[in-house]
């Protein structure tokens, strides 16, 4: 979706967007919108006030071929230092609905996962406890099938309403979302979640609270919380853990610029102050090269790249990180 400066963003485009929604900002620093606190400016940043305006913006951008990215809380993103060409659309304000009917929850994509977990607990409904310590929104969580402690959204989502470039707004059963380990069909199809229906199980409030407290305690004990980060950097390979492998090659404490591999959990990279996306990429490449050299395992990114191709023109994030060759290039200059 990347374009050269000035190719997509024009004064008439900005005027049109402001007719659709009041919340339009130019040259908006993306570091304000990611948990990494990293990222250059988006040409245009749009945060529609409600669902109708959000759909209108997506329809408009699609009809005119304007490149765009949809970004929620930014909890699993690494945004390029050069920023984002085109338009960044935030659905968070527009999609905050959260209702319950019996054991079923209906939640907008802008609802925080922590908010969803606590709301279910208050109604003595189980199934979302794993999400209480996951930063981010339901929409972003579905995009990558967020999970922890042996569960994920795939276990509780029954259906979702999504916006599609081809058909507009459609409701789909969970089976058509293609939810798997840190992946969904939403990724390839360019679909945007508007809301989802979750099937939960009745349980005692005390039991649910105890499980949630356990999840929070484990997070505080095993994951860094004092510095900005984007959560797990790499996916776990089959029958193993990325953190274990990274720790085994001695990567804890490796540092490039303001980015540092956490000394508490090796699969986290912290922004210790002033880190650039280039610093994080450099560390990721060094980690990946060391693990492949020592164990023959190719680590694949869980964090999602937003910006120009990370490996140069014509190179996508996926083929940069997921190719199967052993000839990984030099980590960085």
Which residue numbers are catalytic? 182, 232, 302
Report the distance separating Cα 17 and Cα 13, nearest Å.
6
Report the distance separating Cα 74 and Cα 119, nearest Å.
22
Query: Is the CB of residue 125 less than 8 Å from the CB of residue 200?
Result: yes
- With the C-alpha atoms ordered 54, 55, 61, 65, is the resulting torsion angle positive or negative? positive
CA nearest to 109, candidates 198, 212, 45: 198
Query: Is the CB of residue 91 less than 8 Å from the CB of residue 110?
Result: yes
Where in 39-167 does DSSP place strands (E)? 41-46, 68-70, 77-79, 84-89, 98-101, 104-108, 125-126, 147-148, 151-152, 157-164
CA nearest to 185, candidates 169, 172, 201, 198: 172
């Amino acid at each position: 979706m990347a374009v050269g400066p000035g190719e997509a963003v024009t004064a008439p485009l900005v005027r049109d967007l402001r007719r659709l929604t009041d919340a339009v900002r130019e040259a908006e620093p993306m570091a304000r919108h990611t948990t990494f606190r990293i990222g250059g400016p988006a040409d245009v940043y749009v945060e529609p006030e409600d669902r109708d305006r959000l759909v209108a913006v997506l329809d408009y951008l699609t009809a005119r071929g304007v490149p765009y990215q949809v970004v929620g809380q930014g909890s699993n993103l690494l945004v390029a230092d050069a920023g984002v060409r085109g338009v960044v659309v935030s659905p968070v304000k527009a999609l905050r609905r959260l209702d319950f009917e019996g054991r079923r929850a209906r939640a907008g994509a802008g609802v925080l996962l922590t908010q969803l977990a606590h709301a279910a607990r208050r109604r003595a409904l189980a199934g979302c406890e794993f999400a209480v310590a996951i930063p981010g929104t339901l929409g972003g969580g579905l995009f990558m099938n967020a999970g922890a402690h042996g569960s994920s959204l795939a276990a509780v989502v029954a259906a979702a309403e999504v916006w599609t470039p081809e058909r507009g707004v459609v409701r789909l059963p969970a089976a058509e979302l293609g939810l798997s380990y840190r992946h969904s069909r939403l990724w390839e199809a360019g679909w945007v979640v508007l809301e989802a229906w979750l099937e939960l199980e009745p349980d005692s409030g005390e039991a649910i609270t105890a499980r949630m407290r356990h999840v929070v305690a484990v997070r505080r004990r095993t994951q860094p919380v004092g510095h900005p980060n984007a959560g797990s950097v790499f996916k776990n390979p089959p029958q193993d853990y990325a953190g274990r492998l990274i720790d085994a090659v001695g990567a804890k404490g490796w540092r490039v610029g303001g980015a540092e591999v956490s000394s508490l959990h090796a699969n986290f990279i912290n922004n210790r102050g002033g880190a650039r996306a280039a610093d994080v990429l450099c560390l990721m490449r060094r980690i990946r090269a060391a693990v492949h050299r020592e164990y023959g395992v190719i680590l694949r990114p869980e964090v999602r790249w937003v910006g120009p191709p990370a490996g140069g023109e014509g190179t996508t994030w996926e083929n940069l990180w997921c190719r199967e060759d052993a000839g990984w290039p030099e980590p960085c200059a």
